[in-house]
Amino acid sequence: MKRDWIIRYVQGELSPEESAQVERWIQQKTEYKKKYLEMKKLWEMSSVLKETPDVDVDRAWETFVDKREERLKKKMGPVRSLRQKKILWINAAVSAGILGLLSIWFFKFDASKNVFLKTGEQTQQAQLPDGSSVALNRHTHLKYRKGVFDENRRVLLQQGEAFFNVKRDESRPFIIKSGNTQITVLGTSFHVRRAESLTEVIVASGAVRVSYADKQLILKPHQMVTISDTSKHIVAIDTVRDQLYRYYIHQEFIFDHTPLVRVFATLGKAYDVKFKIDNPETAKLPLTATFEQQSLSDMLKVIVRTFDLSVEKRGNTYHIK
């Protein structure tokens, strides 16, 4: 496995397919998993260093050197200036990965650091520090700053989709950054999906403000919008007539007179497979059924029996006849 792939995986910069490939590699051998954990630890250490706010390294070094030389002169007389070794010392410390440990002697670090929520082949439910909750679909990467989050409720959705149930707090708006789009709420529930350069927002309850470029939109329940990172103009607000976008929260599919074309589009997205309906008239047939934590195979059996259809799998594509 290439080193840069592992680093990009830790940073959450790989595509879902690439992330799955890295995860399979990690599970192959114990030494691979150990290598990944070591690189992840080093990256987290470097993240803490990069994110330390308002730390004057030069001033801290000068203070340390002055006190150190003063003590040495009292005990040993003239000594070689430690300032001459400043650059070499810093370079050696960084390359050895110990600057973070040494810095504890000089300054008090802010307790804040990045917290990453990442999913692979499984979904995840998580509680945020403010009492809000989030459900992450598969292959979703989300992060926020621990400590800072208590004062500034901000999260970054890097990829995938998540359903937020935000605890109301009028003094601290809840903000989600997704590409060039910003979603701001006080207390509500909504779905956000990040795919390539697109951000999709669907509101379940309350109101959501969506900002991009120099534009703003207010979304109400059952409304959705899809915004590209390059969008400069007002985009259309669409109406969502079902709740299939929430299927990953409880692994529940609720179909209510839903055309089969929509049914199979939802199942295809949920299970990373493709469906092809051979007969255009079949695509219009309405399905009313609820599936709770059932396998794709079991759901397909119910659907084909309901409409007296047949299904044939060719590669990664299911043909509905």
What is the tens place of the pLDDT at every residue in 71-87?
555 555 554 444 555 45
Q: Tell me if 285 sits within 8 A of 259, measured CB to CB.
A: yes
Sort strands 317-320 and 311-314 into parallel, antiparallel or unpaired: antiparallel
Cβ neighbours of residue 90 under 8 Å, at least 6 residues apart?
A: 61, 99
pLDDT the model gives residue 145: 86
Structure tokens at 251: 């692994």
What does the pLDDT average to over 185-206? 93
Q: Tell me if 306 sits within 8 A of 298, measured CB to CB.
A: no
When mean pLDDT is compared across 21-35, 121-135, 142-156, 268-282, the lowest value belongs to 21-35
What residue type is assigned to position 241 of the chain? R
Q: Where does residue 236 rank: exposed (0-12), middle (13-18), buried (19+ CB within 10 A)?
A: exposed
Residue 37: pLDDT band (50, 70, 90) is: confident
Structure tokens at 17: 């397919």
Assess whether pLDDT exceeds 70 at residue 101.
Answer: no
Residue 29: pLDDT band (50, 70, 90) is: confident
pTM score: 0.62
Cβ neighbours of residue 218 under 8 Å, at least 6 residues apart?
A: 207, 208, 209, 210
pLDDT tens by residue, 126-181: 999 889 999 999 999 999 988 778 778 999 999 999 999 999 988 889 999 999 99
pLDDT the model gives residue 63: 55
Angle between helices 260-271 and 296-306 (to 10 degrees): 170
What residue type is assigned to position 269 of the chain? K
Angle between helices 3-11 and 16-28 (to 10 degrees): 120
When mean pLDDT is compared across 79-83, 194-198, 313-317, the lowest value belongs to 79-83
